[in-house]
Amino acid sequence: MIGRAGRPRRGPAALVVAALALLVASCSQSGAATDVVLTPVTGGTLTVGLDQSPTGCNPDAGTQTDSASRTVLEAVLPSTFVVTASGASTGNQSLVDQAELVSTSPQTVVYTIDSHAEWSDGVPITAADFRYAWEQQRGLDPATGLPVPADASTLGYRDIKSVTPANHGKTVTVVFKQPYAQWQMLFDPLMPAHVMQRVGWNPTCTVLRPDVDLSGGPFEIRSANASRVVLVRNPHWWGPEPMLDKVVIRVATSAGQLAGWLRTGTAQVAAPTVPTPGFVDSVVANPRVESDLDVTSTFLQLEFATQGTVTSSVEVRQAVAHAVDRQSVVSQVTGWLDGNVVPSQSHLYTQNQSAYPSAPGAQVALNDFLASNGSGSPTTTTTTSPAPGSGAPFPTTADEAATTRDMLAAGYLLGPDGRWATITGAPVVLRLVVDAGDSWTAETAPLLAGQLERAGFDVQISTQPTAASTGAILASGAADLALLPFEATPYPTTALAEYTDSLGLPGQDGSQNWANLDDPTVESLLDQAEHQLNPVKAQPIYAQVDALLWTDMAALPLFAEPGLVAWSVQTEGVTPSFHGPNLLTTVGTWQLRRPLDADATSTTDSTP
């Protein structure tokens, strides 16, 4: 919760203040002569404010993975597994009654689709949707079987041998060519095959499209443009009826505008990409607003061009990394908001995940679709969940002596002016490209550049609008360093995409190996982990990988980005998730709260 003392805090005193403020706010309306009791009601329109616009319509396509689109489509598109607010992967019982690993030789997974599941146009959700998703993401031409570039990540899908329907398409049997440990991440989300076959897997989209993004969730898209998306109840939804009639997503120009919407009641929920001081001050000052602050699963990394002219030397990469005072960066960039953020010590997980740095005693087994059978008894066997460890902890502060040692070992000279130079006297220039689309990254860049300048390097900064374009510049050799965000998931096999060429060239088939790291041992270990179905045996493999990544220094993890969600006390059931763009995962259970003496069965809204 947000404290009422001028800045976010999590200490006991702040929690007491916040609890008292919440108690007052939940029992009375500001300015009212008498206390007014609020009670949850069914129906009405709730408005959610974002500060980024959805720009794609197929989140599975590699070119349409913007966070805002994925956030909105959480209320629309179905998935076999979902990531909970605690960061755990759990089966989505709304879509599938069961998802069971029935064999390990060959690995075989059987999905039982809910018999009532259908798209919002009335077409049943069947094995055809699963098969189409596999065909489009396996990296092979469905007609010829020859390799072709995929407009999506092929991770996991390339390991599937067949997708077979039964029971009128409501049973899906997926057989793998080779084991794939984290099969739960597949088919997330599903797209309607009968629509995508008509418009193409990667259609031209600048906004969400109601004719493409058919719903398999509690809400469907009525209309969408760059500034407003209207969701209404899906009449073909087979699950529990949503509490709200309508959800409107409005796109603000800034976090400040979001704060204003909360004050005026224009929006009941606000989730800024970056919670600015003005936004936080406004939330703190508003007794009718609740909030939740936490670190997110997005973390910043300083990536190195491992095949670049200057940074191809591991000694130079280590020297640059030792010149970075990560603790100072964290304190200056995030300290005003969240004192719990610490310099990252893992390439595979962020500090808000249970597997960072270890999570013994978790429940894992062959059939982990359900966390429990409803009685509180686990349906799985007890083992240890995969945890990468953090290798040899890297210093969180700058080490001038280490920088000097490594640069001299790489053959560079330190001039009398304290600047690094080549043997011919040319200055060592580091070209840093920055993802300007991420505000945390934009704030961090000048601090990093200043630290590197003080360590004797010349730094040239350029910007790109997205993480993908930033990474592409680094991969092309046009930059030596890149500052960009990564999204950690419950599935560490995604490291294959970030630190190996196994998916293909950077930017192809989901590959994000922008650093062009080519370490055969890392690739071999990640390949072993990808195919290791026993998480106990996979755990030390990931630990080895992380230790090697610190040695290779293809990337220096910096910190996990803080996140903040705020909502009016006139709402019920808002459950912020800081593990990916999952804010609307539980929107079907959200409600409005109205005074007991008011006609609260509905709210008026002029949205068409």
Residue 382 has pLDDT above 50, yes or no: no
Residue 606 has pLDDT above 60, yes or no: no
Per-residue tokens: 602: 């509905």
pLDDT at residue 594, rounded to an integer: 92
What's 487-521 look like in SS3? ECCCCHHHHHHHHCCCCCCCCCCCCCCCCCCCCHH
Residue 64's pLDDT band (cuts 50, 70, 90) = low
Residue 31 has pLDDT above 70, yes or no: no
E-state strands within 269-319:
269-271, 289-304
Name the average pLDDT for the chain.
86
In whole angstroms, give the CA distance from residue 42 to residue 374: 27
DSSP state letters, 339-403: TT------SS--TTSTTSS--TT-B--S--S-S--SSS--SS-B--------SSPPPSS--HHHH
Distances (CA, A) of 426 to 316, 414, 418: 16, 11, 13
Distances (CA, A) of 599 to 38, 41, 569, 578, 595: 12, 10, 18, 35, 8
In terms of C-beta density within 10 A (0-12 exposed, 13-18 middle, 19 or more buried), how is residue 428 classed? buried
E-state strands within 88-205:
89-91, 96-104, 107-113, 160-166, 171-176
In whole angstroms, give the CA distance from residue 554 to residue 303: 6
Lowest mean pLDDT among 10-14, 186-190, 558-562: 10-14
Note the pLDDT tens digit of each residue in 78-112: 999 999 888 889 999 999 999 999 999 999 999 99
pLDDT higher at 293 or 4: 293
pLDDT at residue 28, rounded to an integer: 33
Residue 368 has pLDDT above 60, yes or no: no
pLDDT at residue 389, rounded to an integer: 38
Note the pLDDT tens digit of each residue in 474-504: 999 999 999 999 999 999 999 999 999 999 8
Q: What is the mean pLDDT of residues 322-330?
A: 97
- Percentage of residues in the chain having pLDDT higher than 70: 86
In whole angstroms, give the CA distance from residue 489 to residue 85: 12
Note the pLDDT tens digit of each residue in 167-208: 999 999 999 999 999 999 999 999 999 999 999 988 888 899
Residue 10 has pLDDT above 50, yes or no: no
Q: What is the mean pLDDT of residues 354-371?
A: 44
Q: What is the mean pLDDT of residues 53-65?
A: 83
Per-residue tokens: 533: 């179905």
Type of residue at 214: L
pLDDT higher at 125 or 34: 125
pLDDT at residue 346, rounded to an integer: 93
Residue 373 has pLDDT above 80, yes or no: no
pLDDT at residue 597, rounded to an integer: 67
Note the pLDDT tens digit of each residue in 441-474: 999 999 999 999 999 999 999 999 999 999 999 9
pLDDT higher at 366 or 99: 99
The β-bridge relationship of strands 269-271 and 458-464 is: unpaired
pLDDT at residue 20, rounded to an integer: 30
Q: What is the mean pLDDT of residues 67-75?
A: 93
pLDDT at residue 63, rounded to an integer: 67
Note the pLDDT tens digit of each residue in 156-166: 999 999 999 99
Lowest mean pLDDT among 2-6, 294-298, 402-406: 2-6
Note the pLDDT tens digit of each residue in 243-278: 999 999 999 999 999 999 999 999 999 999 999 999
In whole angstroms, give the CA distance from residue 98 to residue 119: 19
pLDDT at residue 27, rounded to an integer: 33
Q: For the whole model, what pTM was predicted?
A: 0.86
Q: What is the mean pLDDT of residues 541-545?
A: 92
Residue 602 has pLDDT above 50, yes or no: no
Per-residue tokens: 136: 């489009």
Helix (H), strand (E) at residue 556: strand 555-568
Residue 4's pLDDT band (cuts 50, 70, 90) = very low
In whole angstroms, give the CA distance from residue 73 to residue 116: 21
Backbone torsion region of residue 43, taken as left when φ is above 0, otherwise alpha when ψ lies between -120 and 50, otherwise beta: left
Q: What is the mean pLDDT of residues 131-135?
A: 95
Classify 72 as helix, strand or coil: helix
Distances (CA, A) of 201 to 144, 150, 409: 18, 10, 50
- Do 293 and 563 meet the contact criterion of CB atoms below 8 Å apart? yes
pLDDT at residue 411, rounded to an integer: 97
Q: Tokens 């008498």, residue?
A: 34
Give me Rg for the CA atoms of the chain: 25
Lowest mean pLDDT among 221-230, 385-394, 550-559: 385-394
DSSP state letters, 400-443: HHHHHHHHHHTT-EE-TTS-EE-TTS-B-EEEEEEETTSHHHHH
How many degrees, rounded to 5, is the angle at CA 511 between CA 505 and CA 513? 80
Distances (CA, A) of 305 to 478, 518, 524: 9, 11, 21
In whole angstroms, give the CA distance from residue 414 to residue 421: 6
